[in-house]
Every structure is written in structure tokens, then in C-alpha cells.
Amino acid sequence: MNYRHAFHAGNFADILKHLVLTLCLEHLKAKPKPVRYIDSHSGIGAYDLASDEAERSPEWKDGVGKLLNADIPEEARPALEPYLNLIREMNPDGLKSYPGSPEIAARLLRENDRMHLCELHAADSVTLDDRYKRDKRVKVEKRDGYKAIEALVPPPEKRGLVLVDPPFEDRDELAHMAEAVMGAIGKWPTGTYVFWRSLKNLWAADRFDAGLAHWLITEQGIDPEKILRADLWVRDLASEGKLAGAGVVIVNPPWTLEEQLVGAMPWLADTLAQGDGYGWRVDGAFTDEDLEDLADD
């Protein structure tokens, strides 16, 4: 448990994940019925950009620091504005803090919606609980998020979203994620799920995505259209140094999400680029060839 998200808060990887989270929650809110938000790896909720960690590793300066005052092209605005407005509301006097996934949900969700936050790190779970203990919509648990997901679904609200955002400290993180996810999706196939994974190893990420998509389509009868992948890399993925790429796989995304992301990603990739070989992709995590093979089986 060495990972501290404070070193990375507001970097390019957070931006894509939190952009997707914002758009998914906004879409769920379009109907009056209450929704449940489940965050398996919550962190501390919000991050002080003047903290020691953020000062020592100012990844946010190459991330959210480049977005807030940028001139955003028309086609990218529908996707980016809800996310950026939330950060602006949180920072009326200039960028000082960055919302983690719990804070994004807490700011977007309504009185009758509910949030279940899991954080295993002892001190971080206390910080998280302190932040939300007066918010009746929120339950914080110091608990293994992987084990929690399956136990927490289906929620009574029947509509909602599960975010799975592990630290990727462990070499087997993708396998743990796949195992937890399969248990949960089997029990609650209509929930929206957002899985974050790094692109340190493109082959491993592609294998996870394709394996998950294959299982969802063949075993759960999920329509291939209900699986979406969005990745962003800020320089050549083979380059040395800090994380160069990351993204999310979304199961049961809002039908509007793909178009919104495709509108924003070219500008986002250009703006957040840190070197040659940067890029993005928004696709179904499954090639047309894979789908044809499935149809032949």
C-alpha cells in the first residue's frame, strides 16, 4: 500500500478518467430515479495542489493546469465543460485543489442518490471518512474494494455506476480486476462500470480489454455496442520515465459518450502532449475481426 494518489492528482490519466465519470453520472441523472455510485478504490476525495506531494510531483501542471484557461474548440466543449465547470466551482480563486472521484460524485449527485466509497489505506480511509461524515448520502468503508464490489451489487436503486480505479502497484492487478468485475457484472449486468487501467504494457491492457469484452459478449449476452474503450497517451508508450498512457473500459456507457469523447480527444491529446508519439483511441475494445470470429463460432 505505497501508492499515494496525491502525487498524481490532476494528471492526464485523472483527466480522462474523471471526464468519463462526469459524463456518465450526468447521463444517469437525466432520469429522476435515484442512482448509486460505488467507488472501489476511492483515495482521499480531493487533493490540495499546494501539498508536499503535489509540489514534489507537479503532474497536475501538465494536466488540469493546462485545461482550465484554455481556448476549447467548439466540438470539444460538450464533453469538457461539465467536468471543467465542476473544477472551476471548486476553485473560485484560481486552481488550488483537484477533485478525486468521490468529490466529483458528491458534487454531481442529488439528495436521493447514494455513494459507497471503499478505501483500504488506513490513514486515507480516515481522511475520506472525515470529509464525508456529515453527508448522509455517503458511506465510507475501510475495506478491500475488489471484494466489496460483488457484495455491493445489485444496489437497491438498480441504476448506477461502479468505478474500479486500482493503484496498479501489483503485477497481477489486471487479473484481480477481471476476477472482481466478472463476479459483479454477473450479478448486476445493467449497471455502468468504468475500469481504469494504465497503458504501461499495451499488450497486457489489450489482453484484459479483449478478454473482458469476449466474456461479456459470450457469457453475459452483452451487446458489443455496450463496451467502450477510451485511451490517451501523452508521448510514445515505449518511452522511459513516468506513466505515458492510460485509459478506461466502460461497460454500459451512456449512448452519447462515444460521440462526446470523439469530439474532445483530438484537442485533449494535442493539449496534454508531452512529446512525440502521443495519441488517443476511442473504440469497442474488440476488433471487427474478433467479432466476426465470434459470429462464426
Ligand X SMILES: C[S@@+](CC[C@H](N)C(=O)[O-])C[C@H]1O[C@@H](n2cnc3c(N)ncnc32)[C@H](O)[C@@H]1O
Catalytic center residues: 165
Pairing of strands 279-283, 245-251: unpaired
**In the numeric block, which cell numbers belong to residue 125?**
480511509
Residue 181 parent element (H or E): helix 173-187
Q: Which is nearer to ligand X, 81 or 144 (CB)?
A: 144
Residue 286 C-beta: closest distance to ligand X, Å: 26
Backbone angles phi, psi at 168, to 5 degrees: 55, 45
With a CB cutoff of 8 Å and minimum separation 6, the contacts of 207 are 174
Residue matched to cell numbers 498512457: 245
Q: Which is nearer to ligand X, 4 or 187 (CB)?
A: 4
Residue 94 C-beta: closest distance to ligand X, Å: 21
Residue 103 C-beta: closest distance to ligand X, Å: 8
The closest residue (CB) to ligand X is 100
Q: Which is nearer to ligand X, 101 or 252 (CB)?
A: 101
Q: Which is nearer to ligand X, 39 or 231 (CB)?
A: 39
Q: Which of 69, 104, 111, 61 is nearest to 83 (CA)?
A: 104
Report how far residue 260's alpha carbon sits from residue 19's, in angstroms, rounded to the nearest whole number. 10
Residues that bind ligand X (CB under 6 A): 1, 3, 5, 39, 41-43, 100-101, 118-121, 124, 144-146, 165-167
Residue 64 C-beta: closest distance to ligand X, Å: 12
